[in-house]
Structure 1
């Protein structure tokens, strides 16, 4: 166990402050849980280690996949929870718990509509490109297409309901009775000693363990040297507490990588640069994979190239689509995006072999015309040809967040290996096992925020229901 996480007996402990529902973590999962619990009538307290709520959410594009929403209908998109569930299971090789997958795909759409109607979050759907593995365009986002915008709006909604968010609070200890019921927690704040808070129900919304290199080395050794692009606070507190409690930890090797982080700028580059007809090359100017499979599994593939990097080649039309994302605009402003009027000039600017890059670009254009088959298996047919100005960005692979975690039931209750549930312990977001299975290739775009927002609402509402009937 980490030196800063512990599970201790509750006997003899007293708590000067108490909450019906106590939530550890104020990213999207924790804030959605707080809103749901508060609206269900519970007294809610959120503790957050940072000075301002952010978490992994703030580092993402803030896009949440959901099916059969009114936002899709307004855009003329046909979709269903069944189709969404099938996409998740297909991408993850049928490894995730089907009951959790179905609960999420049927539930997340109404959650987004609740957030829009009750809390004023102006969602709409990304309609001008498709994400790999999704059978319909179902990515919902806010106008800036940033996770920081999403977490800021959720924080504002929580503040409007007068939900206390104790920032700078580093939760360290859970106090439990012999049956595993959580009586409360303790933590530290800057300039103060230990601060205990009692609760009737506890929600772990403190994300995964990607920032804990020892746990990454144990569970995902192939990514131990990868750029860590997640939140520094993802040190595995939830899984460490769960392990100490005897909870079931599953799919611990599951994770989301990304094969498109601008190097050395450290800015996420949208996968629209690939899905709209772009491609990646290595230092030899050669393609090395089917880039369309998914950005998560592409992380390790990019890292395996010479120097651990690659170049994404696209054009001005694709750049115009990518500019809807603030990250891409920032990458342009910092000079990460290179532009030229022809492939030879682009190669010279990138320091790549001009003849090799020209041959690769010509091969891709032939494949788009249906001439031949791609040796890596990508189907380029129907993609628009690239045209001047040609664009490129140097990228590397990164680890974004982990997908393994605490096994839960459809009510977001934490489970033991025998399938029994802890009396008053819930998990959501990165603290809970995701729906991506055990491999990076199982990650379907948006799975992280799907479980954050979908499970967050479930965990908050169920915790409030439990607290209302629990006399403890």
Structure 2
């Protein structure tokens, strides 16, 4: 008789591996099946910077998670705190008046303990000095509530979780595309997979769908998010095409969450799709362009279309990626002067970054392809005249150095564009993951619209609806994957024991 696994996990990203680790810790035999080859496994995880947002009270909560306790910078670092109330407020800021969803409350409440659990699995973290802190009066000041990333970023997170799973006796098989679910007497009992030898049936006492959203499907993006999104650059894996959602819906799962929403970010206009598969995984984040708060963004009509300094970029980049994509021609230019060149994030100095440069604005403006030159001159002139000269620039806080008299203000970090050389970067909107998913029960089981559970079927990761709405505080996605992966793994293991 064919082997019956206690738990089969579909997908191999952060959420999937956390689910597998949690199930294995409960004594379940675990098989992870991934349709990508080994080099492309890990879902979106390997494309990320590995940052994880979680509630913490101070440095004592962070120190046990760190890979290098001898880093001399730790002695001159102000990590501050990030309370559950601040996490709640940050999520509420994107909810468009909605109260916290049950899923958001779970994310907040279990974020710290899940990070600590990951630490016990062998995952280590590093302070995000380069992107989340500024040097002020000789100290490294963290400013946005996002403090740690996995050592070696998303690649390191995937490799650490995979190594932990294999060490603990879990198995993973690559190039195994799940094509359907097995159902017997109303209970999910396994999966069918397609591989190099053809179709195969794999039996299980519980199945966890952890194979992402629909961001890599042009058809589904246009259907659920809007026609502009057919033109979006796909920042991550080409494999998240909605397969898990399709299989769940075929069994009557409830469509749940904000299907019109997605994690987006401004990206290099000329990047290849899927984060450029020709370069190492760890470099793919370098196509992001998220230092817009240090300059201005203008569209093809030569007008600014967002308040670039509305808030710290952790709280705006997901929305501004959408805003860029929805501009005429689906592009914009980010413009900076020499005063901020040393503050631009590393992706602006990436070897494949596309930009134009000139010693004067008069020489730069004609290089802004697709933009009305006269309009650009007028917009920049009006912006420069409106900048507050009587307020000090300070990137470690919302400094209130804004503009006066503009219909669309820049609220913070506004400095005149007056010091050459000047640089401008062409950007478009990139999509990382989608927000719409399925509704889960307390143990991670997938629910029908009437509230009943689909017996034997669980989900986590991008498939969980209700976590994000009209935006996203940076670093919450990986944490959500880990939180709900852990829940699903434990739930599936309990199902397997009772089967």
Structure 2 length-normalised TM: 0.79
Equivalent residue, structure 2, for 1:186: 192
Equivalent residue, structure 2, for 1:11: none
Q: 1:92–1:443: 8 Å Cα contact kept in structure 2?
A: no
Equivalent residue, structure 1, for 2:27: 41
- In structure 1, stretches of 5+ residues that fail to align are 1-14
1:119–1:374 distance in 2 versus 1, CA, 3 Å: farther
Q: 1:139–1:446: 8 Å Cα contact kept in structure 2?
A: no
Query: Aligned partners of 2:357, 2:331: CA distance in 1, in Å?
Result: 19
Query: Greater shift after overlay, 203-212 or 108-117?
Result: 108-117
Equivalent residue, structure 2, for 1:7: none
Give the paired residue count: 440
Matches of residues 362-373 of structure 1 in structure 2 within 5 Å? Answer: 362-363=384-385, 365-366=387-388, 369-373=401-405
Query: Greater shift after overlay, 37-46 or 259-268?
Result: 259-268
1:59 equivalent in alignment to 2:47: yes
SS in 2 for 1:148: helix
Matches of residues 226-265 of structure 1 in structure 2 within 5 Å? Answer: 226-229=231-234, 230-265=236-271
SS in 1 for 2:440: coil
- Alpha-carbon offset, residue 295 of structure 1: 2.4
Aligned match of 1:421 in 440, 453, 469? Answer: 453
Query: Aligned partners of 1:410, 1:197: CA distance in 2, in Å?
Result: 26
Equivalent residue, structure 1, for 2:281: none
Equivalent residue, structure 1, for 2:145: 137
| Cα deviation code 1:290-317 (max 9, x no counterpart) | 2347223323432333322101123556
| Cα deviation code 1:31-63 (max 9, x no counterpart) | 111122222222111000000223122223322
Equivalent residue, structure 1, for 2:473: 444
Equivalent residue, structure 1, for 2:137: none
Query: Aligned partners of 1:43, 1:379: CA distance in 2, in Å?
Result: 54
| Cα deviation code 1:7-50 (max 9, x no counterpart) | xxxxxxxx613211110000111111112222222211100000
Q: 2:125–2:148: 8 Å Cα contact kept in structure 1?
A: no
1:289 equivalent in alignment to 2:296: no
Q: 1:270–1:322: 8 Å Cα contact kept in structure 2?
A: no
Query: Aligned partners of 2:323, 2:172: CA distance in 1, in Å?
Result: 40
Equivalent residue, structure 1, for 2:176: 169
SS in 2 for 1:225: helix
- Alpha-carbon offset, residue 395 of structure 1: 0.3
- Alpha-carbon offset, residue 102 of structure 1: 1.3
- Alpha-carbon offset, residue 346 of structure 1: 3.2
| Cα deviation code 1:120-156 (max 9, x no counterpart) | 4224345327xxxx99422531355x43333233223
1:402 equivalent in alignment to 2:402: no
SS in 2 for 1:442: coil
Matches of residues 320-469 of structure 1 in structure 2 within 5 Å? Answer: 320-323=342-345, 328=347, 332-351=350-369, 353=373, 355-356=377-378, 358-359=380-381, 361-363=383-385, 365-366=387-388, 369-380=401-412, 387-437=419-469, 441-468=470-497
1:360–1:202 distance in 2 versus 1, CA, 3 Å: farther
1:335–1:204 distance in 2 versus 1, CA, 3 Å: closer
Equivalent residue, structure 1, for 2:88: 85
- Alpha-carbon offset, residue 199 of structure 1: 1.3
Query: Greater shift after overlay, 384-393 or 246-255?
Result: 384-393
SS in 1 for 2:423: strand
- Alpha-carbon offset, residue 185 of structure 1: 0.9
Q: 1:436–1:447: 8 Å Cα contact kept in structure 2?
A: no
- Alpha-carbon offset, residue 320 of structure 1: 4.0
1:159–1:356 distance in 2 versus 1, CA, 3 Å: farther
1:223–1:296 distance in 2 versus 1, CA, 3 Å: farther
- In structure 2, stretches of 5+ residues that fail to align are 64-77, 135-141, 276-285, 390-399
Query: Aligned partners of 1:63, 1:100: CA distance in 2, in Å?
Result: 20
Query: Greater shift after overlay, 402-411 or 342-351?
Result: 342-351
1:305 equivalent in alignment to 2:323: no
- Alpha-carbon offset, residue 388 of structure 1: 4.6
SS in 2 for 1:333: coil
1:123–1:199 distance in 2 versus 1, CA, 3 Å: farther
Query: Aligned partners of 2:207, 2:99: CA distance in 1, in Å?
Result: 24
Query: Aligned partners of 2:160, 2:339: CA distance in 1, in Å?
Result: 31
Aligned-residue RMSD, C-alpha: 2.9
- Alpha-carbon offset, residue 198 of structure 1: 1.3
- Alpha-carbon offset, residue 413 of structure 1: 1.8
Query: Aligned partners of 1:257, 1:62: CA distance in 2, in Å?
Result: 15
SS in 2 for 1:32: helix
SS in 1 for 2:214: coil
1:218 equivalent in alignment to 2:223: yes
Equivalent residue, structure 2, for 1:314: 336
